[in-house]
Amino acid sequence: MAVDYEKEGRIAVFTINRPEALNALNSQVRQELNQALIDFRDDPDLWVGIITGAGEKAFSAGADIKEFRPGPMETRGAVAWVRPDQIWKPFIAALNGFALGGGLELAMECDLRIAAEHARLGQPEVNIGFMPGAGGTQRLPRFVSRAMAAEILLTGQQIDAQEAYRIGLVNRVVPLDQLMPTARKLAETICQRGPMGVRAVKEVMIRGYDLPLEQGLQLERDFANRVRTTEDFMEGARAFAEKRPPQYKGR
Ligand code: CO8
């Protein structure tokens, strides 16, 4: 398997498993990741996803350059490509090394990014006569300043984990041996929250981002009203009043 997909209680861990090729995203990885993402999306018992790479060197060094051929980009495998930012459950990217090109683009499709101290991030496509094709030119300027995005995209140079933290591209930088424990702890924290609220937060944040403020506020109100109709909404209020931990069911 080029992607290991493990379910640990409410958490799913996706591990890109081609360490000999720095976890480059070849067609097999894309296909298997896609299948795993669909399973995660449709499994009501899974609430948070963690995406990482096998080994200690790379999260992913991007699209597999050795598969490059002239002509349009393939439509990412036989099935429609599902992105983490189209699934309304939170994703954490655990960057265990290089996150370059399509690897950084995948990390930017996640909601939170934790980097190991030695991780290096970049959009090196222009170094090989190409350009980002999976969101780099669009997401990076939305995540960091336009000037920093332009520098990363136009020079193709890598930045280290501390710099990525400084410019707001990653949430935390931790020693490598703390990477997965930190990601799991964050995932567990999110799993303790009301999942209907958590999912609505993610969807409204993403859908509302490009809306004018008034429309975004309306969207938020609509979702908040919908969350108020769920069992978990009343469970949260009851547990608060009864001074006990809530037992959320995801409905
Ligand atoms: N594709 C294929 N093989 C790769 C890739 C890659 N992206 N990156 C590394 N490898 C392979 C190397 O060829 C090498 O294989 P071998 O041992 O058979 O020669 C092995 O991984 C180890 O790599 P290196 O020996 O090069 O390791 P170094 O530590 O010397 O260098 C670097 C590490 C700097 C990360 C270097 O490997 C490198 O520059 N890699 C390419 C990074 C890059 O340019 N990425 C962008 C690719 S283009 C892209 O992502 C466009 C996205 C568009 C849409 C994507 C949709 C999924």
125 Cβ below 6 A of ligand 1: yes
Q: What's the gap in Å between 58 CA and the centre of ligand 1? A: 10
Q: How far apart, in whole angstroms, are the C-alpha atoms of residue 70 and residue 60?
A: 23
Structure tokens at 49: 């996803």
Q: What pLDDT is attached to residue 78?
A: 41
Q: Let me know if 105 is a catalytic residue.
A: yes
Q: Let me know if 125 is a catalytic residue.
A: yes
Q: What pLDDT is attached to residue 80?
A: 52
Please tell me the pTM assigned to this model. 0.96
Out of 105, 109, 117, 203, the active site residue is: 105
Q: What pLDDT is attached to residue 157?
A: 98
Residue with tokens 């290089």: 98
183 Cβ below 6 A of ligand 1: no
- The total of other beta-carbon atoms located within 10 Å of residue 206's CB is 13
Q: What's the gap in Å between 57 CA and the centre of ligand 1? A: 11
Q: Which atom of ligand 1 is nearest to the CA of 101?
A: 50
25 Cβ below 6 A of ligand 1: yes
Please list the ranges in the chain whose pLDDT falls under 50: 76-79
Q: Which atom of ligand 1 is nearest to the CA of 58?
A: 35
130 Cβ below 6 A of ligand 1: yes
Q: How far apart, in whole angstroms, are the C-alpha atoms of residue 204 and residue 224?
A: 10
